[in-house]
Amino acid sequence: MTENASIGEKKKTEDNPNSSAKIGLIISYPFQFYVYKNIYERIKNQAEFIIDLGTFYPIRQPDNLLETITKLLHKHNVFFRILHYEDYYYSLYQKKFFSRYDLLVSLWERGCLKLKCNISKKR
């Protein structure tokens, strides 16, 4: 496969991004939203959730997980973007996806935190 910085362009319709976000709150399961919920309310002008579907890469998450998480986030009317499992194959896309963030927050030191483009970011 070739590198493709625009691989996620077709998936943007699934996202509800915050163009001002400098903080990414990484979630892989619905329960993690509730850990960040009150914090997000205080910083929502500068933050958004990142749904990381490659947390256990190369093992795939269940197919219905994305729908479950997006329904929850839409219900709470929060900003979010999706890092799909397939995005783990494209380092140029990863770099573009994470370029807006100054800070990444996660409950686990795995998944997208381990990507080369995020090694030097504040956590």
User: What pLDDT does 87 receive?
Assistant: 96
Question: In what helix (H) or strand (E) does residue 35 lie, and over which residues does it extend?
Answer: helix 30-43
- pLDDT-based confidence at residue 2 (cuts at 50, 70, 90): very low
Sequence ranges of the domains in the chain? 9-118
Cβ–Cβ contacts within 10 Å for residue 106, how many?
A: 21
Distance (Å, whole) CA 79 – CA 60: 24
User: What pLDDT does 51 receive?
Assistant: 98
Distance (Å, whole) CA 84 – CA 63: 11
Has this prediction a pTM greater than 0.75? yes
User: What pLDDT does 1 receive?
Assistant: 43
Q: 30-67 pLDDT, tens per residue?
A: 999 999 999 999 999 999 999 999 999 999 999 899 99
User: What pLDDT does 14 receive?
Assistant: 84
Identity of residue 9? E
User: What pLDDT does 54 receive?
Assistant: 95
Q: 78-122 pLDDT, tens per residue?
A: 999 999 999 999 999 999 999 999 999 999 999 999 999 999 999
Nearest Cα to 117, choosing from 9, 5, 62, 97?
Answer: 97
Residue indicated by tokens 């009317």: 77
